Structure 1
Amino acid sequence: MVAHPLSHSLPGQTIRIVAIPAKPVRMRLLSLGLAPKTTLTVLWNRAGTVVVGRDGDRLAIGCKIAKQILVEQVENP
């Protein structure tokens, strides 16, 4: 799979985090339980601001941060 920014993901897609390059962003997301290899579902995407879901929880991610998170689409979740 080809990695792309989370901000380019479409609602309904199941994605896996590949990399979180920026250290401050990485530390914040790790504290929220989002690490590389975490699988999420994109619930909403408006102009790069993304809402993702996992295990019944939802997390809104602003467009600046979503552009820094590299993900790949999961074909068979």
Structure 2
Amino acid sequence: MRIRRAATGAAAALVLAGGGVLMGAAGAQAAPAACHTVIRVVPVTVVVAQQVYENGHWVTKYVLVTRYDTISTIVCD
């Protein structure tokens, strides 16, 4: 019984992933019509330790550095 339920759930997930229609006890539910990827570039500020030669010896200084990370999100209509 448990194996049959797991197989049914997996089959339903595959049907939805393919853009089909999920048939269940509540009736048909349409899958999202179209999906696309939204890519954003966001600035991220991080603290970086740097070794600096100062007054005859090495000193650790912490500086703020801005880097740009890419974030992608899948959006379905």
TM over 0.5: no
**TM-score normalised by the shorter chain: which range applies?**
under 0.3
Bigger relative contact order, structure 1 or 2 (CA pairs below 8 A, ≥6 apart): 1
TM-score, scaled relative to structure 1 = 0.22
Structure with higher Rg: it is 2
Structure with a larger share of its residues in strand: 2
- TM-score (normalizing by structure 2): 0.22
